[in-house]
Amino acid sequence: MTVDHPPTPGSALWVLAHPRQDSLNGHLFRAGVEALSRDYDVATSDLYAMGFDPVLGEDDLGEPAGRPGNLAVLAGEAYAQGRLQPEVEAEHAKLAAAELLVLQFPLWWYGPPAILKGWLDRVLTDGFAYDDELDPELGTPRRYGDGGLTRRRALVVVTAGEDERTLGPRGVSGDLDSLLFPLTHGALWYVGIDVVDLHVVHDADGLSSAGVEREIRRLRDRLAGLDSEPVRSFRRLRDGDYPTDLRALHPELLPGRTDLGIHRRSASLDAG
């Protein structure tokens, strides 16, 4: 069963997934952590600098190695038995303390780098971040707006080589909000973490030194006002919008629509 992890007020975790310290992401990371540290006690996980292993493997599944079963469930059992790898336990401690999570990365092949995906694979552990045990009254598991990591917010900082039109709602590369839906909704909201709107740096490959400074200022300004920003109003599983016998949005809600926006509570207002 998932254990709730009340965050420590004023604590944050900034996770960076970029291999070069002298890159645009490196500059944004250092400036962002410095700015956020004025209001938060900031822990960091610079995944490449740490040499974080992104591969979920037998060492994550407890003992004995090779035992049969669902990998997520086995990892959850290893967590419950205190048999996780030290680097995962360290990330658990930082994430459990943080009331604000910042995930920063470049957009590679229209998604996060593999090292960040692997961080999610290994750190959002069954039993730590969520579980499959059904609520006796609602008949739903603790997912999508519920779980062990509620009462937290996340900011996703992403740099992209393409412009705003190309990654817009009608852009040839696809809408960035939709491209990152597996992260914002499928991972963060899945374990109960609210998300604010993306912070995107477009045309990142061609920025001049003046452009880099402009983006540093823009990130600092965003962080300064972050506490007053609204979160995305995704639908919670426990509210009944997804009947357990359908495993999909109730047919009476926004009939005929199949876009990802239907999973936001505010989408109901769009129907009128």
| CATH number of the domain residue 175 falls in | 3.40.50.360
pLDDT at 1: 61
Average pLDDT, whole number, for the chain?
93
**266 in the same domain as 160:** no
State yes or no: pLDDT of 267 exceeds 60.
no
Residues 189 and 100 in one domain: yes
User: pLDDT > 90: what percent of the chain?
Assistant: 86
- Domain housing 178: 11-233
In a domain, 6, yes or no: no
Tens digits of per-residue pLDDT, 10-40? 999 999 999 999 999 999 999 999 999 999 9
**Mean pLDDT within 217-239:** 95
Q: State whether 107 and 178 are in the same domain.
A: yes
Section 162-167 average pLDDT? 93
Using the predicted structure, report yes or no on whether residue 138 has a pLDDT greater than 90. Answer: no
Whether residue 5 lies inside any domain: the answer is no
Q: How many domains does the chain have?
A: 2
**1 domain residue, yes or no:** no
* 202 and 225, same domain (yes or no): yes
Check whether residue 38 and residue 124 sit in a common domain: yes
Judgement on whether residues 206 and 248 belong to the same structural domain of the protein:
no
| pLDDT for the residue numbered 271 | 46
Per-residue HEC secondary structure of the chain comes to CCCCCCCCCCEEEEEECCCCCCCHHHHHHHHHHHHHCCCCEEEEEEHHHHCCCCCCCHHHCCCCCCCCCCHHHHHHHHHHCCCCCHHHHHHHHHHHHCCEEEEEEECECCECCHHHHHHHHHHCCECCCEEEEECCCCCCEECCCCCCCCCEEEEEEEECCCCCCCCCCCCCCCCHHHHCHHHHHHHHHHHCEEECCCEEECCHHHCCHHHHHHHHHHHHHHHHCHHHCCCCCECCHHHCCCCCCCCCCCCCCCCCCCCHHHHECCHHHHCC
- Note the pTM of the prediction, 2 decimals: 0.94
Query: Same domain for 206 and 261?
Result: no
Does the structure show a pLDDT above 80 at 132? no
Are residues 187 and 267 both part of a single domain? no
